[in-house]
Structure 1
Amino acid sequence: MLTQDFETAWDTYLRAGPWFPAPPPPVTPRRVAGLAEVLETEDIAAVVLDAYGVLHTGSEALPGAREAIADVRRRGLRLCVLTNDVTHEPAGVAAGLHRRGLDIRPDEVVSGRDLLPEALAAVGDGAGWGVIAIHPRDIAARFPALRIVEDLTAHPPSAWDDLQGFVLVDCFHWTPDDLDVFRAILRRCPRPLIIPNPDVACPYDGEITLEPGALGLAAVRDHGVDVHFLGKPFPALYGRLKDRFPDVAAERLLMVGDSPHTDILGARGGGLRCLFVESGLLAGQDSLARFAESDLWPDYLAAGV
């Protein structure tokens, strides 16, 4: 697992403006006790939950997460998990949440991985492309034109010269040596990337991980490559979310998230309302100061869900 300190991750996000969607107009956040208070006082038809930082930060469910899901169901509201966790298909994400005691169905999960078929169709179904993932064979079985790229440190960077581009699904399994080799591959021959997970960082069991979004932004800055981001905060995924609720106006959808540059930016940019929880990426930070630095402001602010 590759990790980084908060300030490094935050600086990467702050410098991502030219490649991320434009920020929505600022609002003044209302401090609330949690999700239930918003649902009691506002006209919300469906609740959209982030996973990491909202429901859990790795091994265990966060306090109140199980109860919040049960409360949404008790109120008869619709529910969706919108996540940049793309290691597994939505059914696998739901299974992981169930292992943590969280009642989420596979059909309630939407992720950047859902957009991969369209992205690959635009590049000849991935012919001549390589896929980098913890579980690459799952993806190669669905997209057989892709070539599996693994054991990076066992090969020289030239071993991948024939590939036209890379689908970078995740890098959680990498060591620092793997990262060095990947950077050497792009230095040697810059090529486009498809990245289903645009996260720069993720809170995980007390650490902050280095995520594919950080590598994609570095590739754009350092090598000028074309990077196609699929997940939050980019509009296509929020469009897919809205397709799940065609009868619900965007302002009646409430996104609950923990990252300004994915959850606030993507949700409010798409017309949704946003409840920001301080249990994830900004845990221990001055949230209002970070909102001011990023010029990204949620509608509501709470310590946790």
Structure 2
Amino acid sequence: MLFLEFAAAWDVYLAAAPFLPSRPAPPIGGCRRIEGVGAVADAFDLIVLDAYGVLHEGAEPYPAALEAFAALRARGKAVCVVTNAVTHAPGDVAARLTALGFPLDAGEVVSGRSLLPDLLAGEQDQGSGIMVLGSHTAPVQERFPQAIAQDWTAEALDRARGFLLIDTNGWMDDEPESRLGASLRANPRPLIVCNPDVTCPFLGKLSYEPGYFAFRLAAEIPDLPLRFLGKPYGAIYDRVAARFPGIARERILAVGDSPHTDVLGARSAGMAALLVESGLFRGRDTGRLLAECAILPDFIAPHL
């Protein structure tokens, strides 16, 4: 796995604005600072939670998040984790979070992997000729046997009809970025990115995520057929709304640690947003960074 400095990741997020949903108007009444989700939970019927940076970091749950999650359950609040972590299927993510102390069933987790079957089913020959790239590709290839196995030789990359990028967890140097980028520059073909994150908190550092590669490449190749599946794009929020059809969007609060994914996605989808400072913004000047990106949440809290 590769890691980034905050400044490098933040610059990519700022430059990605042309490829993101339009920024919504600031919240009516401005942005309120609160102690945590419990302060406003009664105003909402569904709490949508990010995972990394909100509930946990790697295998370590945040103590405040464990307490807040238990309190939401005790209040009888509906909860749904919406994550850009797509290495594992939603059911596996639910099991992992349950083991960390956040009891969830598979139906309470939505990710870009949740959208993948519908997307590939609509593709020509259900993904035929699409190369699957990532650290755990076998489940996707079992589901879509017409897709082709990853092969990082230049010849194989050039033969592929397109690419499905699940994660960059196995990238240990700049060689994968260099080879895939060179192939797509020479011949732009579809690139499906399951995880639009540029970075996320991991092991006390900031990891290199697929968005760091994809947004930079998109700026270089204006005609690149690029498709993102996760936050902040609308399809993942439509999936949440479909899973909870009795709850109006204005009664949904989404909690996350990133303005460009969690806040922008939720507010663009008609939901309220709470930005927590336990993840990406930990130890940083939240006010200055929000002024730079002009993506404002309804609420800010130090943690869940």
Q: TM tier, shorter chain?
A: over 0.9
Task: Please give the residue correspondences for 1:1-305 in structure 2 after superposition, counting only pairs within 5 Å.
Answer: 1-27=1-27, 28-39=30-41, 42-124=42-124, 125-150=126-151, 152=152, 155=153, 157-176=154-173, 177-224=175-222, 225-305=224-304
Deviations 1:33-85 (A, max 9, x none): 1111112xx52111110001000111200121222111111111111000001
8 Å Cα contact 1:277-1:301 kept in structure 2: yes
Q: Which amino acid aligns with 2:111?
A: S
- Unaligned segments of structure 2, at least 5 residues: none
- Whole-Å Cα distance in 1 between the matches of residues 103 and 284 of structure 2? 30
8 Å Cα contact 2:188-2:225 kept in structure 1: no
Deviations 1:10-35 (A, max 9, x none): 11111111110001111321111111
1:159 CA drift (Å): 2.5
Segments ≥4 residues shifted beyond 6 Å:
none
1:121 CA drift (Å): 2.5
Normalized against structure 2, the TM-score is what? 0.95
- Whole-Å Cα distance in 2 between the matches of residues 142 and 301 of structure 1? 40
- Whole-Å Cα distance in 2 between the matches of residues 118 and 138 of structure 1? 15
- Whole-Å Cα distance in 2 between the matches of residues 24 and 134 of structure 1? 35
8 Å Cα contact 1:199-1:211 kept in structure 2: yes
8 Å Cα contact 2:157-2:180 kept in structure 1: no
8 Å Cα contact 1:199-1:212 kept in structure 2: yes
Please give the secondary structure, in 2, of the residue aligned with 1:301: strand
Normalized against structure 1, the TM-score is what? 0.95
1:172 CA drift (Å): 0.8
- Whole-Å Cα distance in 2 between the matches of residues 123 and 86 of structure 1? 20
1:101 CA drift (Å): 2.2
- The more displaced of 291-300 and 221-230 is 221-230
- Whole-Å Cα distance in 1 between the matches of residues 188 and 120 of structure 2? 19
Identity of aligned residues (%): 44
1:143 CA drift (Å): 0.8
- Whole-Å Cα distance in 2 between the matches of residues 7 and 159 of structure 1? 34
- Unaligned segments of structure 1, at least 5 residues: none
Q: Indicate the RMSD between aligned Cα atoms, in angstroms.
A: 1.2
Please give the secondary structure, in 2, of the residue aligned with 1:94: helix
